[in-house]
Structure 1
Amino acid sequence: MVAGPVPGAVGAPAGAAGPAPAAAPPVTVPALTDWTPREGSYSFGRTTRLVADARDKQARRVAATLGGDLRAAGRGTVPVVDGGARKGDVVVTVDPARGKALGKEGYELTAGGTLTITGATEVGAFYGTRTLLQLLAAGDRIPAGRTVDVPQYAERGVGVCACYIHITPEWLENLVRDMAYNKLNQLLLELKVKSEAHPEANTWGYYTKDEIRALVALGEKYHVTVIPEINSPGHMDPWIENRPDLQLTDIDGKPQPSRLDVTAPEAFAYYTSLIDEYAEVFTSGAWHMGADEYMLGSDFAKYPHVLEYARQKYGPDATPQDAFIDFVNRVHDHAAAKGKRLRIWNDGLTGDNTVPVKAGTTVEHWLGVKTKPSELLAQGYPVLNASYSLYLIRGGFHMNTKSLYEQQWDPRSFEGEKVASRDGITGAKISLWPDNGRGNTENEVAASMYLPLRYVAQTTWGTPNPDATYDAFTARAEAAGHAPGWRDLTRLPVTEGTYTLRDSKGRLAPADWRISRTADGYATLTSAASGRCAETRSGRLTLNVPLQPGTPVTEESCAASNTLQRWQLTAVPGGYRLTNAITQMAVHVTEDGRMVQYPADQQPPAVWRLGSVFNVASSARTAGQTGL
């Protein structure tokens, strides 16, 4: 950890004549671009207190959150107090009169005998505390100085498709903490929430409402807005695979499970009922409907009733694309009536429509098509940069952060066009997609997104290139580290060795298993009898993954690259839970000794007791059962 100049920073060579260079800002992500050094330093110690006016509820909340994060960072209990500050204290203030200088999210931080953080709003003061936590990652002593730190863009985010392949709540919680730590403020989640209104849609890959409530509450605490998305009218197969009556039917009478019929009143009613149900758990003032790739691999000519619908509603010059835009606009109006602002992807705006998208709809631009970002901006639409160059795809394309850094990429650089001004551009985000669901595990994705996340934080908050080289920026990011409370999910909680597995009902798994740690922190289970590995592979595949509850876990030829052979062991009261790293379903053993997988809300996960048959560390056979 470093607290001085970043490697690669320009300064006078040792022994050179002339005045000493100005002290470089201490290391943070995003970098501090307005730092005025002063003599001396601030010291955090055992007597440090967090001072916030008892009458200021916003400042008290910020101070309380900071206190919890300091405790999570191993700095003990730092009390929140009222009254005057003394040497070593941290003072948190929310002063609305500073709004002109600091805006909604900016803050002023001054380090000296005390350290003061001032925001015009609660969120601004909160971001000042994130800077403090990063400064303390380098040690207890912070160089004296002052910064006024204000973001360049309002929306700084991450998009995650947890829509087909389930992503664990623990992983998402880590993401929220790291986002806030780096001053990112928007998490788009394309996902399925288990529906009470439409139980026929509850095929696996969903989250319970309680899981989402917990994640949204964490986001609110850390000022990360969680925006839900149900992609429509394309990519609807997770929702309507069991509803052929809502599927778009082609000229040959063949229904399309991934396409909602935009002409059917029942389809619109179905989709908007999902919006209403999601509003029970998501508090965001935005709704993302996707609206991308509706005619992917096809064209409107195969669906003549769509053109007929458009002409009946908009006249003889209407196009099939108008029926699509009509659906978008009706969703816009429904969302607006619920207090939600609509967001869509850009690729459906082909220019072939005569009906415009409703004003105020945010367009997230990911693909270069006929309608350019500059045209959307000129028409008054808010535009967010979600370029393909900012994608990380499981088993596929990964954002080249080094190249983007060296190109001095910024949110004005869209796919196919760079615009001159940032006016109207809301910001940018990286996007995580599971195109090949078994291509990478969650832990591998977390590692691969470490630098992309921090680069997008840097280029949306401040300047694209705070350091002379990408290596220097990498050192900056590594110095700041992870957020307090971030959990290392790569630890194997048992010693490598060979074990019997018996569940809480006394049923024995059908082999002794050699448990070995994988490079990404999971385990492989190799049968001691056959030398083959436990894997779930049967049934219909979705994005190359078997996602049906009840599918078997079988012994297959071992392959280090096969992510379906990786398992997560989690310590729980009485033993361990065993979950597949990709499907995120828990392993059970049936009465007749077969192993199968189920989601936790369909069958409570089995609790496994591990009996040590042969332990690598001790090289000794032991008898009986052990909690290990």
Structure 2
Amino acid sequence: MKRHDFLAVAATAALFLCAAMPWTAHAAPQPGDHNGPAQTAAAADAPPAALTPVIPLPARVEPRTGQFVLDADTRLVARGTEATQVAHDLATRLQRSRGFAPRIEARARSNAVTLVLDAKAALADEAYALDIDTRGARITARTPAGLFYGAITLWQLASADGAQGPTTIAAQRIEDAPRFAWRGLMLDVARHFRSVDEVKALIDQMAVHKLNTLHWHLTDDQGWRIEIRRYPRLTQVGGCRIPAGAAGRNDDGTPRPYCGFYTQAQIRDVVAYAAQRHVTVVPEIDLPGHAQAAIAAYPQLGTTGQAPSVSPDWGIHTWLFNTDEATFAFLEDVLGEVIELFPSRYVHLGGDEAVKDQWQQSASVQARRAQLGLKDDMQLQGWFMGRLGRYLQAHGRRLLGWDEILEGGPPAEATVMSWRGTQGAIEAARTGHDVVLAPAPALYFDHVQSDGDDETPGRLPVMDLQSVYAFEPMPAELTAEQATHVLGAQANLWTEHLRTGERVQRAAFPRAAALAEVLWTPAARRDWNDFLPRLVPMLARYRDAGFAAADSAFAARIAVAPAGDGSARVTLANQSGFGTLRYTLDGSAPTPRAPAYTQPLALPVAGQTLRAAAFAGERALAAPRQIVLDAHGLRARASASLRPCKGGLTLRMEDDAPREGVRAVVTADVFDPCRVYEGADLDGVRTLAVRVGQLPFNFQLWRDLKQVVTRPATVPGGALEVRLDGCEGPVAATLPLAPARGSDALTVLEAPLPAHPGRHDLCLVFASGAYDPLWMIDEVALLP
């Protein structure tokens, strides 16, 4: 059965909404309304977050009088295999969240949730209607997907209070359908491999948020992660790399491989698991670039005849598949096995960042271009993609590619995924191509979520929760006809800097919850201030599921500054401005009864520990953050709090040691690790302590390599120079790097600082004579 005909879903969903009678967020029933009794004035005034604490917010909600008590005596009424499967899923969710699983029956009764699958219902594929009154609830849908989403909505209503046992749900009628048909996440497992269980955990959360497409990035320069039986070396060789730096060697100096791939049985398992949750898995086999792992396995696929290593580096690589007939035979063999594993209508073939240096230097590739009568190598790539697109089309599939495929003339049936902003989507839609928006940086979830010192690794600038919620998928430049080509959008989880499953989960949610509402809920219904209270129960569900969602939007940010007379001025805030900040001064974790922060605190610098956290009523919104109020804490700044000198490619990067356990995370500019400590209060400061480390320069920057700044070493082994009042100012201190060169761990360097009363900017520059290793600053402390 075809579950996701995207164009049909989009058109039908639009018809479903447009055909409805005019309504507001809480419209009163019209005279003669037969769907239930008129609501009370109090119900009509209830905000969506109180009446319908659901994410994504449904398209239409009509409040009704009364409430439904869902308890252990409630029954789930379902007939037919598909409706019964949804009932079993709902019962399992209620068992976990409420502590009881309603029995499933086939006969109608009161005090029941009735699940009706009606193929003739006037609803879109993923739409549903949910009626709740004092006697029970009724979910109606035309397809299993719609029935599943209706059950998810009811479960969210039933679990909003986070308690066990019976619960009450406000009476209401919900008519719901998605705004967009493609609601997705992309997971990159080539850079860092994720286990089957970790992929399933992500799918579980996608289903809860009515996200329906997992784009699985399975191949790249750093790894080939899908078993292809006809070519076993793709995983035997291409599935392993030697990480750069200390992480890639054992204690005795021997290489320590990083490996991982999915067997075809595991692939089928994941695809089936996703299908049960109405998530389509779209595979990506990246070509003609991002092919280094494949060419490492089979060098004849490249243009040089040489076998590169599977890359330990991040960035833009130059290894491309050649254009020989044997290579197309190989790629068609690969796609043939991919098609057998993935029933998705779409197969993603990449097409991005395929720099043409090797093609330009290859006599055989240039001869092929001339034979085809193509004017340049971009047209050659268009021909390359078109040939494989025709193979997919002949097998009932459709090519999906990144927006670079527009440059060489995309195949007529190609769907374009726009990542370089939204311009690619606009151009594609105007020329009749379907499009999916996945623009950087707005929907690149490898970007950090805050500028906090405790933020996990990722790219900058910050892409916070509110910025995702504010994203508008429909480009305003498109006409109504062109807009029909916009299938939807997805967020991309690139994993260069997301080494662990926990970090992938933190990067994904709750930002994906915000995106889910953007893609499901009508634009006029979206309200950031209403979304935040509805997110509170969702945060609890993440914790209950053992899912490590980020709390960056709610985490307490503690700012401290000297106030004179041995005291400090402490201010508290959080990114979203939501919740009540509470604090303690004895090192204990704040509770809902701890003092509420209302104004800046004047506290003695006496070694006490301040801890703070945000609460919504009795519920904690984030883990506590803390600071020790002593001389070090007062004037120490972590790397995230230091300003980049120029601002090139700034990343939150993880140290490469230790191999296991917690590693330091620092903020640095790959092009120039110079940092500025702004407004340093140097009164009474006599010592400068800087914690530094070194990373392997594992960045493929292609033509941007010339932008990397190096400074000649002024002392043997190089030094960290501290300049006063600007990066061209006088050198106030020199800290030799020699003590840190032989260490994989971080090293504290100290130097005396001559008296410079008042406030000054301190510019910290590495004069090491080379850019590899990449020197980094973890913390700068000004000591008395």
TM-score by length of 2: 0.55
Match of 1:124 among 137, 146, 151: 146
Query: Which residue of 2 is the match for residue 294 of structure 1?
Result: 354
Instruction: Confirm or deny that 1:68 pairs with 2:131.
Output: no
The share of aligned pairs that are identical, in percent, is 27
| Residue pair 1:405, 1:464 contacting (<8 A) in 2 also | no
Q: How many pairs does the alignment contain?
A: 473
Match of 1:587 in 2: none
1:327-366 to structure 2, matched below 5 A, reads: 327-350=384-407, 353=408, 356-366=409-419
d(CA) in 2 for partners of 1:117 and 1:286? 31
Distance 1:185 1:357 in 2: 26
Residue 271 of structure 1, CA deviation: 1.6
Residue of structure 2 equivalent to 1:278: 338
Deviation at residue 489 of structure 1 after TM alignment: 6.0
Report the equivalent of 1:29.
55
Matches of 1:546 and 1:335 in 2, distance apart?
Answer: 42
List alignment gaps of at least 5 residues for structure 1.
1-8, 11-18, 492-518, 521-543, 548-552, 563-628
Contact 1:235/1:259 (8 A) holds in 2 = yes
Equivalent residues in 2 for 1:95-174, closer than 5 Å = 95-99=118-122, 102-112=123-133, 113-139=135-161, 140-174=167-201
Deviation at 1:263, TM superposition (A): 1.5
Q: Is the 8 A contact 1:28 1:134 kept in 2?
A: yes
Change (3 A) 1:475 1:281: same
> Within 2, Cα distance between the matches of 1:274 and 1:398?
37
Q: 2:428 aligns with which of 351, 359, 376?
A: 376
Instruction: From the superposition, tell whether residues 469 and 557 of structure 1 become closer, same or farther in structure 2 (CA, over 3 Å).
Output: closer
Hey, what does 1:207 align to over in structure 2?
262
CA offset at residue 213 of structure 1?
2.1
Tell me by how many angstroms 1:312 deviates. Answer: 1.4
Q: 1:122 corresponds to which letter in structure 2?
A: P
What TM-score do you get using the length of structure 1 for normalisation? 0.68
| Partner Cα distance (2:160, 2:462) in 1 | 29
Shift of 1:38: 0.8
Greater displacement, 42-51 / 190-199: 190-199
Aligned to 2:458: 395
Matched, 1:453 2:512: yes
**4+ long deviations beyond 6 Å:** 253-257, 482-486, 544-547, 553-558
Q: 453-462 vs 287-296, which deviates more?
A: 287-296
Distance of 2:308 and 2:77 partners within structure 1: 63
Larger Rg: 2
How far has the Cα of 1:442 moved from its partner?
2.2
Match of residue 264 from structure 1: 324
For 1:43 and 1:489, locate their aligned partners in 2 and report how far apart those are by CA, in whole Å.
Answer: 29
Task: Measure the CA separation in 2 of the matches of 1:326 and 1:245.
Answer: 20
**1:557/1:93 CA distance change after superposition, 3 Å:** closer
Question: Which residue identity lines up with residue 229 of structure 2 in the other structure?
Answer: E
Q: Distance in 1 between matches of 2:540 and 2:284?
A: 27
| Alignment counterpart, residue 231 of structure 2, candidates 181, 188, 198 | 198
Aligned residue for 1:588? none
SS class of match (1:96) = coil
Structure 1 residues 475, 239: CA separation in 2 closer, same or farther (over 3 Å shift)?
farther
Partners of 1:287 and 1:216 in 2: how far apart?
Answer: 14
Instruction: Kindly state the Cα deviation for residue 467 of structure 1 after the two structures are TM-superposed.
Output: 5.8
Note if 1:480 corresponds to 2:538. Answer: yes
Query: Residues of 1 paired with 2:438 and 2:546: CA distance?
Result: 28
1:289 alignment partner, SS class: strand
Higher relative contact order by CA 8 Å / sep ≥ 6: 1 or 2? 1
Distance (whole Å) between structure 1 residues aligned to residue 216 and residue 394 of structure 2: 22
Separation in 2 of the partners of 1:291 and 1:166? Answer: 22
Report the Cα offset of residue 57 of structure 1.
2.9
Residue matched to 2:105: 81
Q: CA offset at residue 95 of structure 1?
A: 1.4
Output the amino acid matched with 1:75: G
Q: Kindly state the Cα deviation for residue 47 of structure 1 after the two structures are TM-superposed.
A: 0.8
For residues 208 and 151 of structure 2, the distance between their equivalents in structure 1, rounded to whole angstroms, comes to 9
AA in 2 matched with 1:329: G
Aligned residue for 1:76, secondary structure, equals: coil
8 Å contact from structure 1 (residues 364, 386) kept in 2? yes
Render the CA deviation track for 1:252-305: whole Å, top value 9, x for unaligned. Answer: x99898634341111111122112222343232221111111117x48544454
- Give 1:237 deviation, angstroms: 1.6
Measured in 1, the distance between the counterparts of 2:477 and 2:467 equals 14
Equivalent residue of 1:91, what SS?
A: strand
Give the C-alpha shift of residue 94 in structure 1: 1.2
| Counterpart in the other structure of 2:472 | 410
Residues 82-117 of structure 1, C-alpha deviations (whole Å, 9 max, x = no match): 11121x210001112223xx2110100000111000
Q: For residues 310 and 545 of structure 1, what CA distance do their matches in structure 2 show?
A: 43
Give SS of 1:357's match: coil
Displacement of 1:411 after TM fit? 0.8
Instruction: Report how far residue 376 of structure 1 moved.
Output: 1.2
- C-alpha distance in structure 2 between counterparts of 1:74 and 1:489, whole Å: 18
CA distance 1:57–1:82, change in 2 (3 Å): same
Equivalents in 2 of 1:489, 1:411: separation in Å?
A: 27
Q: Which amino acid aligns with 2:227?
A: K
User: Counterpart amino acid of 1:382?
Assistant: D
Change (3 A) 1:424 1:447: same
Distance in 1 of aligned mates of 2:153 and 2:202? 18
In 2, are the aligned partners of 1:346 and 1:366 still within 8 Å (CA)?
yes
Q: Is the 8 A contact 2:472 2:518 kept in 1?
A: yes
> What is the deviation of 1:240?
2.0
Structure 2 unaligned residues grouped into runs of 5+: 1-24, 27-40, 162-166, 219-224, 240-258, 311-317, 447-456, 550-621, 624-652, 667-784
Name whichever of 190-199 and 180-189 sits farther off.
Answer: 190-199
- SS class of match (1:231): strand
How far apart, CA to CA, are the structure 1 residues paired with 2:659 and 2:528? 49
Which piece of structure 1 moves more, 102-111 or 374-383? 374-383
By how many angstroms is 1:463 displaced? Answer: 3.3
Identify the residue that residue 492 of structure 2 maps to in structure 1: 431
Question: Per the alignment, do residues 456 and 57 of structure 1 end up closer, same or farther by CA in structure 2, a change over 3 Å counting?
Answer: same
Give the partner amino acid of 2:445.
L
The residue matched to 1:279 in structure 2 has which SS? helix
Question: Aligned with 2:160: secondary structure?
Answer: coil
1:334 Cα shift?
1.6
Provide the C-alpha distance between the structure 1 equivalents of 2:326 and 2:429, rounded to a whole number of angstroms.
34
How far the C-alpha of 1:193 sits from its partner, in A, is: 1.3
When the two chains are superposed, the root-mean-square deviation of aligned CA atoms in Å is 3.5
Alpha carbons 2:78, 2:115 under 8 Å: kept: yes
